[in-house]
Structure 1
Amino acid sequence: MLNISVFEFIVRILPEALVFIFATYTFSNIKIDKKKYLLASVILGCCVFIIRKLPINYGVHTILNIFTLPIICTSINKISIVEATKSSIITTILLFVLEGVNVFFLSLIFKDSLTQVMSNPTLKTIYGLPSLAVLAIIVIGYYNYLGKKEKLNYV
């Protein structure tokens, strides 16, 4: 079970849910329906919060989240299950890579005290935000690119 504070929910989980739902729209080449987007993001954030509270091994929650995102996007946003699953996997892998790069740079900066920094939930949340911000920039950039090429469709 992962202990999650209200701070982590507001600062990390909700923004991450917003980015993941946005990425699903983007990688599925679908224009955003703002109401459905916000509803799906809040529901995903709540599901992620609940999944992280489950008494399961670390890492299993990621797999459950990969399954949860397509279910939410299919039922609420009417995105096809194949596109939603593909988007979920791509976004998760991209976030893992970006978090790895982020941790690499943090290890260069903090050297031996990185373990202490990562053991503090508040600091870990704050120092984890650059990877989420870069993911958001990549997804927004790709969405804008698709919009300019007129490749976005309505559901």
Structure 2
Amino acid sequence: MLQIQPIEFLLRGLPEGFIYILAVYVFSGTKLDKKRYVISALITAVFIYIIRLLPIVFGAHTVLSILFIMLLSINYNKINLAEAAKSTIITFILQYLSEAVNMLLIKFIPNLDIDKVFVDPVSKCLIGIPSLIITITIILLFYFYNKKVDARNV
């Protein structure tokens, strides 16, 4: 079981929910339905928060989260199975790579005791913001690149 505080839901869970669902739309090439997007993002954030509270083996929450986002994308957002699976997996790989880059950058911050940072939920969320920024930047770059390519093909 992961130790997740309610403040982490607000500072990390909600933004992640919106990023994950946006990424699935972008990577699947599906037109964004704003109402479905917001509802899906909120449901995703709550569900992932609940999954992280379960007394399960570390890593199992990731598999459950991937499956949930895929099912939500297929059933509610009307994205086909192959695109939903591909997009969800790409999203999680991108998020983990962004977190790895963030951890490498954190190592270069002088006088930072990482053990103390991860004890405080707010500090933990703040130190994770760069990974969210990296992730959303890549997603938006991909979105605008595809939009430009689609415009040329018209």
Aligned counterpart, 2:115: 115
CA deviation digits over 1:85-128, x for unaligned, max 9?
11111111111111011111112214661222122222111100
Report the residue type matching 2:29 in the other structure: N
Aligned counterpart, 1:9: 9
User: 1:112/1:134 Cα in 2 relative to 1: closer, same or farther (>3 Å)?
Assistant: closer
| Partners of 2:42 and 2:75 in 1: CA distance | 14
3-state SS in 1 of match to 2:19: helix
Greater shift, 117-126 or 18-27, is seen at 117-126
Q: Which runs of 5+ in 1 are unaligned?
A: none
| Partners of 1:122 and 1:138 in 2: CA distance | 25
Report the residue type matching 1:12 in the other structure: R
Under a length normalisation based on structure 2, what TM-score does the superposition of the two structures give? 0.91
3-state SS in 2 of match to 1:93: helix
| Partners of 2:144 and 2:51 in 1: CA distance | 32
Report the residue type matching 1:55 in the other structure: P
3-state SS in 2 of match to 1:77: coil
| Partners of 2:104 and 2:45 in 1: CA distance | 27
| Partners of 1:75 and 1:110 in 2: CA distance | 47
Listed as ranges, the matches of 1:20-35 within 5 Å are 20-35=20-35
Aligned counterpart, 1:49: 49
Shift of 1:76: 0.9
Report the residue type matching 2:145 in the other structure: Y
| Partners of 1:129 and 1:76 in 2: CA distance | 29
Q: Which runs of 5+ in 2 are unaligned?
A: none
Under a length normalisation based on structure 1, what TM-score does the superposition of the two structures give? 0.91
RMSD: 1.5
Aligned counterpart, 1:39: 39
What percentage of residue pairs aligned between the two structures are identical? 38
Listed as ranges, the matches of 1:138-153 within 5 Å are 138-150=138-150
Runs of 4+ in 1 over 3 A off after TM superposition: none
